[in-house]
Amino acid sequence: MGSTTQNDGWTLYGERLDSRLLIGSALYPSPQVMCDAIRASGAQIVTCALRRQAPGEAGGQAFWELLKGLGCALLPNTAGCHSAREAVTLAQMSRELFGTNWIKLEVIGDDYNLQPDPFGTLKAAEQLIKLGFAVFPYCTDDLVLCQRLRDAGCEVLMPWGAPIGTGRGLMNPYALQTLRERLPDMPLIVDAGIGRPSHAVQAMELGYDGILLNTAVAQASDPVLMADAFRDAVAAGRRGYLAGAMPERQTAQPSTPTLGVPFWHQDQG
């Protein structure tokens, strides 16, 4: 399962990372709060929506400079796209603007719950990989879809915990655990639906490699403190997974023996 030391690093597309928390850059009450929260999270990867931030414009350029000043790797995303064609075009634009082959692929199939379109996501992933992109696909927890994305050349998968922005945590732990068991060597990151630090702990205890979140931190009463809480939660969940949790039982079992005399009650005379 890996090292239980403090330096439990991992690699995404050749990039060595120490933090297993990825964080978004939207919805914060101010740019300063965003920067402070990202620093408090310890995240080394920050996502940015090209359509929403418009880095080519004056205001967008200032925002981009703020992100660069944080010293984190940027993961542009294709948020707002509803077709593979849109996503591929936006990814190409982001590569020109940001100078990175990394792309978080989002192709939305339903505007009500923002569920990713499995067919459009797979189609876009296949095209982007041929164009030399390192694709981080946001997808559902469907095993067959995830296998197809892996076979297409994706080196990491980002299944949702729950719909974006709901904060409902892991809606289908069974499906997520199945993905972890069937794709044992694939880096898996729970993306979307995480609302509380306890949700992050649960995902990490399932053996997931990382957590990507935004709303849970950005819209907290104290985003900086919440970012710090999630930093600790991801680390605790990871250590709990590596340590190996005790099995669940149907019946109680005493933690002290019922036979014999406890050593501290023995006659010392």
Check: CB of residue 226 under 8 Å from CB of residue 199.
Answer: no
Element (H, E) at 134: strand 134-139
Q: Choosing from 68, 104, 123, 130, which is the catalytic residue?
A: 104
- Which residues are registered as beta bridge partners of 49? 77
Q: Find out whether 223 and 37 touch, Cβ atoms under 8 Å.
A: yes
Enclosing H/E stretch for 174: helix 173-182
Q: Which residues lie below 8 Å from residue 103, measured CB to CB, with a gap of 6+?
A: 75, 76, 77, 78, 91, 94, 95, 128, 133, 134, 135, 136
Annotated catalytic residue 68: no
For residue 79, the SS3 value is coil
Q: Which residues pair with 103 in a beta bridge?
A: 135
Helix axis angle, 118-130 to 143-152, nearest 10°: 10
Which is nearest to 179 in space by CA: 219, 137, 230? 137
The tokens for 59 are 């205001």
Beta carbons of 173 and 202 less than 8 angstroms apart: yes
Nearest to 138 by CA among 80, 60, 68, 220: 80
* Residues annotated as part of the active site: 104
